[in-house]
A and B are shown apart, each in its own frame.
Chain A
Amino acid sequence: MSTERIKFYQTGTFTAGNRLLDEATRTVQSRVDRTNSLNSGHRACQGCGEALGARYALDAAMRASRNQLIAVNATGCLEVFSSPYPESSWQIPWMHSLFGNAPAVASGVAAALRAKGRDEVTVIAQGGDGATVDIGFGCLSGMFERNDDVLYFCYDNEAYMNTGIQRSGSTPPFARTNTTQAVADHPGNPVGTGKNVPRIAMAHGIPYVATASVADLHDLERKVTTAIGVQGARYLHIHVPCPLGWGSDPAHTMKVARLAVESGLFPLFEAECGTVVRSTPIRRKVPVERYLELQTRFKHLLGPPQDTNAIAAIQAIADANIVTYGLWG
């Protein structure tokens, strides 16, 4: 199929999109020949950010690895909605073992490939935040510490969604989940809890760590491609809204994801061997309320009356990120 070169003067903005870009800089998703690693027909919810994130990440990975890729998936939404017996939407070699062992299983795949001299095959491990931050944390750390040649994708929708929206170590402060309900004087998920796994990954000194969002496809694909080109343990933490769990409109998934980035609550950055080397600046800064007000999991903060302390605390987190990663100004 032939492509037409269209000349315009405004490129790389949201106004005109991909068509204006050089072929070489177009996203994998825009290509007719993309792998569609996670094929349509899966059973994800309408507006599922994880389904998008997984397809984006894996298609980019397939291109970067010349289609030589094996994926290991933890139990969770992605695994469940992508492989409803007797169907599978995976177009790539794919394995699901258990909830807590995806990083270890992937380490095993990598070891087998090394034993067989198959250096050209990329090994991906992937899971949601529950599998990555909590139950699989030990195995994740082991994979990092050994510097096994595995690229790990965490699709972070900030709770255990497959089991019906329960709090994980990635659930943000004040978020309502079914195990951190905003009842009595509880404001949802307690402040001061939770793990920052990208920074923990950095603390292991692994060659490449990055955060990405479904809201910025170019950024995500670039990071996947970069990661594929690096040897050793790599970690990519991808923010993926969950309309069901977050109580947002399925049509707002991209918008919500973008607001998380633009408020500073989800910083986009890259690190190599434990040091931040690049961050993606915020184009248009927004106050956190713009993000919170689209999600019923925060509605108890918005009132009326508004919980100004809570919102200020959340804003403080966002502001701190902006400073830490140099996202603005």
Chain B
Amino acid sequence: MNVQMEGSQAVAEILACCRPEVIAAYPISPQTHIVERLSAKVARGEIGRCQFVNVESEFAALSVLIGASASGARTYTATSSQGLLFMAEAVYNAAGLGLPIVMTIANRAVGAPINIWNDHSDSMALRDAGWIQLFAEHNQEAIDLHIQAFRLAEALSCPVMVCMDGYVLTHASEPVDLPDAAHVDAYLPPYQPVQLLDPNDPVSIGAMVGPDAFAEVKYLAHHQHLRALDLIPELTQAFEQHFHRQSGGLCSPYRMEGADIAVIAMGSVIGTIKDVVDELRRASIPVGCIKIGCYRPFPMLQLRGLLEGVSRVIVVEKDLAVGVGGIVSADVQRTLSGRQIPVHTVIAGLGGRSISTSSLKQMILEARAERLTEPYFLDLNKTVIEQELARRRDIRRAGPVAEHILRTMNVMGTKVS
């Protein structure tokens, strides 16, 4: 059914069709609309015997799901930013125990400074915990990825994060096709646990593992992720057969035929990049873009194949490895090992700053002309930076950085350019 709907509301609707049995929720912007709508649906009895647990923290939210999943229930929660970090211990625990929990990450910057807007620093902080990480380009894909996520998680006994850009997608109203419950049922069978807390067949889950076996347990988790690289294309193919559209996948090329320059990115910025690619192609500049749909496991083989004829790569990412530079670009570098082509790291959109088509276009042209610094911070306000650095050089008791920058910017005025 085609509807014009806010992303969060659409996700809640599709979640209901996936028949979760236990949902735990702790509110955090910008995920709140998802859990609010789900709580109403549960209360109205629209999700069978599903239990909605209002927990006291994100750590509790994931912990509740760990217990529920181990007891054979299909489980779901959503969080962002500070909340994801607050449950960090449980995130590793869930992956280590092999529990097929599905969690929406409404991507939001991690403070300090506190910031409620979109970037990828939250998912990036937990990228190596052992969860599969999928990124949605638009709200249709956000919905579809949740359906795929449950099937993927349960097939591999591995938890899955579905990442969708906070506000940019969660709070964006756009047209989506909401599959009905019957269609989802046909694609997503009931959960059959690999391990189960059952009084009739007792097992011990979560034992301590020493040096003699820890490496083997970790290797097996790694092995499951490698299996995911094969399973995800199968699942997306099956998805296409059921729902008649392409959604998800390891990575998706756009106008890469004959492309000399490849722009690589994840999430909603891909939409903006596609517009820029079209504009540049009209000006006969051979650029294409590649969307990474599955970030963990990292689709190295497939990406390397897509980059075969390319002589320049630009990675646009909404995150920063402080003191290093790019995170995604490092994975891309590793993918291209052995090939000596320039890989540019473009740090953009931190803390929710809008990534404009004009800035992207300008950046690509600069990259082409070998004029980009590495890493390159898109639309960085250099004047403010220089002023702040000078001030801190001159005064010891310089005060909080953020406050001063904001004060400076007030005087200068903010501009959306």
Asked whether any CB of A lies within 8 Å of a CB of B in the complex, the reply is yes
A contact residues vs B (CB 8 Å cutoff): 67-70, 72-73, 79-80, 83-86, 88, 90-98, 100-101, 104-117, 121, 138-139, 141-142, 145-146, 148
* Contact B205–A94 (Cβ < 8 Å): yes
B213 with A86: CB separation less than 8 A: yes
> Is the beta-carbon distance between A85 and B207 smaller than 8 angstroms?
yes
What are the residues of chain A within 8 A of B65 when measuring CB–CB? 108
Bound Cα distance from A57 to B327, whole angstroms: 51
Among the stretches B55-63, B167-175, B230-238, B407-415, the one at the interface with A is: B55-63
Give the residues in chain A near B75, CB-CB below 8 Å.
Answer: 108, 112
B64 at the interface (CB under 8 A from A): yes
Residue from the list A106, A107, A116 in contact with B49, Cβ < 8 A: A116
- Residues facing A in B21-74 (CB within 8 A) are 21-22, 24, 48-51, 53-57, 59-60, 63-73
Interface CB pairs A-B, < 8 A, 8: A70-B197, A80-B208, A84-B208, A88-B204, A108-B75, A111-B22, A112-B21, A142-B55
- Residues of chain B lying within 8 A (CB to CB) of residue A117: 49
> A180 to B197, alpha carbons, bound, how many Å?
40
Partner of B64, one of A98, A100, A111: A111
User: Are B63 and A108 in contact (CB-based, < 8 A)?
Assistant: yes
Q: What is the interface size of chain B, counting residues whose CB is below 8 A from a CB of the partner?
A: 45
A86 to B208 alpha-carbon distance, docked (Å): 9
Q: Of A96, A113, A146, which is within 8 A of B53 by CB?
A: A146
User: Do A104 and B71 contact each other (CB < 8 Å), given the known contacts A85-B210, A112-B21, A142-B55?
Assistant: no
CA distance A111 to B52 in the complex (A): 8
Partner of A92, one of B49, B67, B199: B199
By the criterion CB–CB under 8 Å, are A111 and B55 in contact? no
The answer to whether B399 has its CB under 8 Å from any CB of chain A is no
Contact B204 A90 (CB under 8 A): yes
Determine if B67 and A105 form an interchain contact, defined as CB atoms under 8 angstroms apart: yes
Pick from B49, B73, B210 the residue with the most CB of A within 10 Å: B73
Residues of A within 8 A of B59 (CB): 100-101, 104, 138-139
CB distance from A118 to the nearest CB of B (A): 9
The 5 A-B residue pairs with the shortest CB-CB distance, nearest first, are A108-B67, A96-B206, A142-B56, A101-B63, A104-B63
Q: Do the beta carbons of A101 and B198 come within 8 Å of each other?
A: no
Residues of A within 8 A of B320 (CB): none
Q: Are A97 and B49 in contact (CB under 8 A)?
A: no
Task: Given A95-B67, A98-B90, check contact A88 B207 (CB 8 Å).
Answer: yes
Contacts of A113 in B (CB 8 A): 71
Q: Which of B56, B69, B199 contacts A93 (CB 8 A)?
A: B199
**Interface status of B209 (Cβ within 8 A of chain A):** yes
Q: How far is the CB of A122 from chain B (nearest CB, A)?
A: 9
Distance in angstroms from A81 CB to nearest chain B CB is 10
Contacts of B204 in A (CB 8 A): 83, 88, 90, 94-96
Footprint of A on B, CB under 8 Å? 21-22, 24, 48-51, 53-57, 59-60, 63-73, 75, 89-90, 93, 97, 197-199, 201-210, 212-213
Query: Which chain B residue has the least Cβ–Cβ distance from A62?
Result: B199
Cα A107 to Cα B65 in complex, Å, equals 9
Contact status A93-B53, CB under 8 Å: no
Among residues of B, the one whose C-beta sits closest to the C-beta of A104 is: B63
Residue of A nearest to B22 (CB): A111
CB closest chain-B residue, reference A70 = B197
Neighbouring A residues of B71 by C-beta, 8 Å: 70, 108-109, 112-113, 116
A47 to B118, CA, bound (A): 56
Q: Which residue of A lies closest to B50 (CB)?
A: A115
The listed residue (B73, B93, B197, B213) touching A115 by CB distance below 8 A is B73
Which among A80, A84, A97, A138 is the interface contact of B90 at CB below 8 angstroms? A97
Partner of A107, one of B67, B203, B210: B67
**Minimal Cβ-Cβ distance residue in A for B47:** A115
CB distance from B67 to the nearest CB of A (A): 3
Cβ–Cβ contact A111 & B93, under 8 A: no
A109–B70 touching, CB < 8 Å = yes
Given A93-B202, A97-B66, A100-B89, output 19 extra A-B contacts at Cβ < 8 Å: A85-B208, A88-B204, A90-B202, A93-B203, A95-B70, A96-B204, A97-B90, A97-B206, A98-B63, A106-B67, A108-B24, A108-B65, A111-B22, A111-B67, A111-B68, A112-B68, A114-B49, A115-B22, A115-B49
Q: How far is the CA of A73 from the CA of B70 in the complex (A)?
A: 13
Chain A residues, Cβ within 8 Å of B208? 79-80, 83-85
How far, in angstroms, from A94 to B97 measured CA to CA in the complex? 13
State the CA gap A138–B205 with chains docked (Å): 23
Interchain CA distance A116-B197 in the complex, whole Å: 13
Residue contact A96 to B202, C-beta cutoff 8 Å: no
Residues of A within 8 A of B205 (CB): 94-96
A33 to B55 CA separation, bound complex (whole angstroms): 39
Chain B: which residue is nearest A100 at the CB level? B59
